[in-house]
Amino acid sequence: MFTPRSTTGLIIARFLSVDFAIAMCLGLWHLLGIGTCASGGPFEIANACTDEAMTWGLVFGAGLTGSIIVSFFTGFAWGWAMMFVPAGATALAFALVGDPGVGADTAAWTIGPLFLLMGLPVAAYAIKEALGGDDTTPDATTRARAENYFRNTASVSPWTTAATAPQINITPPAAAQPSTAQQLARLDALKATGALTDTEYAAQKRAMGV
């Protein structure tokens, strides 16, 4: 299924963006060779537009429109880079080696460096994103942790009864044993009240090791 975020859809969209960029560059190259033109109505100038100018104007417009549409599927960075970097490189190459038409030389030297400055930083990010994959995709370790978490939490239902719930044994802390002095004080108190005889008192002390 073709979706903007699927791997197959992304590959197709990027392939199409390259095709549209090529069409845009071809149109731009030929338009720069033709130069500025206008014909018809009050816009007639010395360099009248020919059928060739109209054809390459349509090619450039189709490439630009297609690049904009495909950018919704390739992501902003890739779409931006594929519009400005190829166009800037084409204009700069034409300024260096092309045969410019009327007024095209200034246009080529202007849009070439400008478009490259606008596109190259974004292109570097787009290439890094393409080579490194989608940052929103969890790696294997993250997926394993998530699976273990949900597996452990799913094993205990909120409707678990007391009979099926896991039993937890809680052992109370052992009571502190009285010291020897405390035990002797207790024996003395019992003897003083008559609760212990002398014989019982002596026996209790021997049992304490005193």
Is 138 domain-assigned? no
Burial of 126 (0-12, 13-18, 19+ CB in 10 A): buried
Is 104 domain-assigned? yes
Is 166 domain-assigned? no
Nearest to 50 by CA among 13, 14, 101, 10: 101
Residues 47 and 107 in one domain: yes
Is 144 domain-assigned? no
Domain that residue 198 falls in? 178-210
Is 50 domain-assigned? yes
Residues 39 and 112 in one domain: yes
Domain total of the chain? 2
pTM across the whole model: 0.56
Residues 126 and 43 in one domain: yes
Is 147 domain-assigned? no
Contact criterion met (CB below 8 Å) for 29 and 90: yes
Give pLDDT tens digits along the chain (210 positions). Answer: 344 456 888 889 989 999 999 999 999 999 999 888 776 666 556 677 788 989 999 999 999 999 999 988 888 899 999 999 999 999 999 999 988 888 888 999 999 999 999 999 999 988 887 777 544 444 556 666 666 665 665 555 554 555 555 566 666 666 677 788 888 888 788 878 877 788 888 888 888 776
Is 169 domain-assigned? no
